Amino acid sequence: MNQKYYIKAVALILAAGFGLSGCQLLSEPAATASPSVLEAGSGRIYPVKGEVNIACSGTYHCEISQVDNTLVINKDTHRPVSNDMVAPAVRKSADGKPIMVPALLNSNSVKVVPLFASNMKGLVNYYVRMMPAKREVHVNFYPENNVDYVERFAMIHEFNDAGTYQLKAYRKRGTQGSGSLLDNASPDPLCIDLLQNNQLKRRFCKQLDTEHQGEFVEADLTKKAVVKAKV
């Protein structure tokens, strides 16, 4: 009996050792290792020359679930679908040059980087690294502190220019006070802005009418700009 327990104990120790070594594949070298950075992120996006970074924000939690045909974040676990897809946050060395940047293997490669701890306990917001190209991006937004309430958003965009892109969600204010009582009782519609290097490029707002049945419809930013100019 003692021998059996001894064998089990050795097996558990070996298993734990392999588990730790597997985790280190995603970590930085021992000299600069910081598990908290991998779990919660650095809170910053570190652009890599020639690459596109996409992040989402504005709600309790959000996650880029898919890029083209590549699944990124698992809808059930809210974590990356593969450990091989996770890259540590890029740091800068003393001379200001970026270090620890796992290269994208090809034009279809997608990497996810921890950005910051989510407002939902136990979850992490990630941003995505990829090469410039026309992409179809799927994002799950969680307007409330409830994983069962999700707003799914999909967009096709030509990410031809390298840089940082953000999909920022918010409630469109000032829509109440007109229309039916049902319209006034409804919450302000959710809108999503696409920002490129902090400049507004596209805007999508959810339509609550029966014609669009809760779809996100793109707003005409050019038309609005003309109206503002006349005023």
Q: At residue 25, does pLDDT exceed 60?
A: no
What's the pLDDT tens digit per position in 194-210? 999 999 999 999 887 65
190-196/163-171 β-pairing:
antiparallel
Of 26-40, 56-70, 178-192, the range with the highest mean pLDDT is: 56-70
Query: How high is the pLDDT of residue 214?
Result: 75
**Contact between 127 and 54 (Cβ < 8 Å):** yes
Residue type, 20: L
- Give the Cα separation of 106 and 133 in Å (integer): 12
What's the pLDDT tens digit per position in 161-179? 999 999 999 988 754 444 4
Looking up tokens 């005023």, which residue turns up?
231
Tokens coding 42: 């650095």
What's the pLDDT tens digit per position in 119-155? 999 999 999 999 999 999 999 999 999 999 999 999 9
